């Protein structure tokens, strides 16, 4: 039983109103403080519960976890214990933080103020796959580059389209990115040129982190998929639109995507998101049997993107929701493995750009400015068609129901000039 989701639970740790990190959340991350080493923490309110310190006090006896699992620079070793033990670990942590717990007097030993901690990339990412699973986004792009009658390519509603991305350049929130450079072809009749990207864009996405999968040659079904998903994060899959336009035929994105992708530092477990599941769209035409699924597997997560010019106030450019996805995580994982591809603990699978059906819900500047034809008016009086140097892009996300909020914090990245 997932007792940590009980909405009546309250913590002895102070949790401010509208905090992303309620006792019903308890996301995992990697932090350090001062000269101390990296280790596993759990966010609660404005604090971090130091699991290494908790284990040293003997508060996690018989949990199946040991000091080495928490005194680690990534979550991978902890995740290697599997879904059942991870679920019960979250329950035990919830019990320790529950109002009335007798460990409240050890707060100075086991709690770290988030303001005094540095957050790190939480996962050693083995492989990274990016999907293209928002129908509105695919339709918008198709309208811009083809026409509304042929916006979706023939395969789009039959398979969760994806490509293999670059794991080495996935970076933690707060890590700045230099504007990429590469070949571009400004006009059809002129030869290509080389230089800094002129059409730099964000892509509002969410990622999910896998647990250890089946052996090479075996598949994971949609019914089994939840057992192989640890949790989710916010994900900004940066895109150099002008570089991509020239290079993507015939093999798809390369330099336009591999320079950086930014992820949030807290991994919200799939268990914590269970109360926010909602029905997905009717999939027409009917999917093939291996992509069929039972139950509600879409998740209602409010998403927001802001752009903050240097020295100025931020402007909200997008309010979207993860529930707008056409293909869900279970279908994505089933498709990814149906040919026998193996997955491992710490693999990252991203949703693709998430766009809602209305203006104001589009998850990229390509759509917001409609390929640069509709500049976005910023709070400071400037305009944006795409991302400029020294802009900081901030993505936030949370699920909320019946007064319970489960959030992701934010992923924030500043764009620096080209090296």
Q: Which residues are catalytic?
A: 137
| Dihedral-angle region of residue 311 (phi above 0 means left; psi in -120 to 50 means alpha; beta otherwise) | left
Question: Measured in Å, how far apart are the chain's first and last C-alpha atoms?
Answer: 52
In residues, how long is the chain? Answer: 419
Comparing CA positions, the residue from 11, 211, 2, 213 lying closest to residue 88 is 2
Strands 404-416 vs 315-321: parallel, antiparallel or unpaired: unpaired
| Dihedral-angle region of residue 82 (phi above 0 means left; psi in -120 to 50 means alpha; beta otherwise) | left
Cis omega (within 30 of 0) for bond into 283: no
Q: Determine the 3-state secondary structure of 46 from DSSP.
A: coil
Comparing CA positions, the residue from 94, 84, 98 lying closest to residue 3 is 94
Q: In Å, what is the CA distance from 169 to each residue of 188, 213, 350, 389, 412?
A: 31, 24, 14, 19, 16
């Amino acid at each position: 039983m997932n007792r940590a989701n009980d909405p009546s639970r309250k913590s002895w740790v102070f949790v401010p109103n509208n905090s992303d990190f309620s006792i019903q959340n308890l996301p995992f991350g990697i932090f350090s403080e001062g000269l101390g080493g990296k280790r596993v923490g759990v966010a609660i309110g404005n604090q971090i519960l130091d699991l290494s310190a908790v284990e040293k006090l003997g508060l996690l006896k018989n949990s199946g976890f040991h000091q080495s699992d928490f005194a680690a620079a990534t979550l991978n070793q902890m995740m290697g214990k599997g879904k059942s033990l991870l679920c019960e670990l979250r329950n035990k942590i919830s019990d320790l933080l529950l109002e009335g717990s007798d460990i409240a007097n050890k707060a100075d030993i086991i709690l770290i103020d988030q303001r005094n901690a540095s957050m790190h990339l939480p996962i050693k990412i083995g492989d990274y796959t990016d999907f293209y699973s928002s129908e509105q986004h695919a339709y918008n792009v198709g309208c811009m580059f083809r026409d509304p009658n042929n916006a979706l390519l023939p395969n789009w509603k039959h398979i969760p389209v994806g490509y293999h991305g670059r794991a080495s350049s996935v970076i933690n929130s707060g890590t700045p990115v230099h504007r990429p450079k590469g070949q571009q072809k400004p006009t059809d009749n002129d030869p290509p040129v080389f230089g800094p990207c002129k059409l730099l864009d964000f892509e509002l996405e969410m990622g999910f982190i896998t647990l250890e999968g089946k052996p090479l040659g075996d598949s994971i079904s949609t019914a089994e998929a939840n057992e192989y998903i640890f949790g989710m994060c916010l994900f900004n899959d940066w895109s150099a639109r002008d570089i991509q336009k020239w290079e993507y035929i015939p093999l798809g994105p390369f330099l336009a995507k591999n320079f950086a992708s930014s992820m949030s530092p807290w991994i919200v477990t799939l268990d914590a998101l269970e109360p926010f599941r909602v029905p997905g769209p009717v999939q027409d035409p009917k999917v093939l049997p291996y992509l069929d699924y039972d139950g509600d597997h879409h998740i209602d997560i409010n998403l927001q993107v802001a752009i903050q010019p240097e020295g100025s106030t931020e402007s909200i450019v997008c309010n979207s929701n993860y529930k707008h996805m056409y293909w869900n995580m279970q279908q994505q994982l089933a498709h990814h493995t149906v040919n026998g591809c193996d997955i491992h603990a710490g693999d990252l699978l991203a949703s693709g750009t998430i766009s809602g059906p209305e203006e104001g819900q589009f998850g990229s500047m390509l759509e917001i400015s409609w390929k640069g034809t509709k500049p976005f008016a910023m709070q400071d009086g400037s305009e944006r068609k795409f991302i400029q140097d020294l802009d900081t892009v901030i993505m936030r996300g949370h699920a909320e129901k019946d007064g319970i909020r489960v959030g992701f914090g934010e992923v924030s990245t500043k764009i620096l000039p080209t090296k």
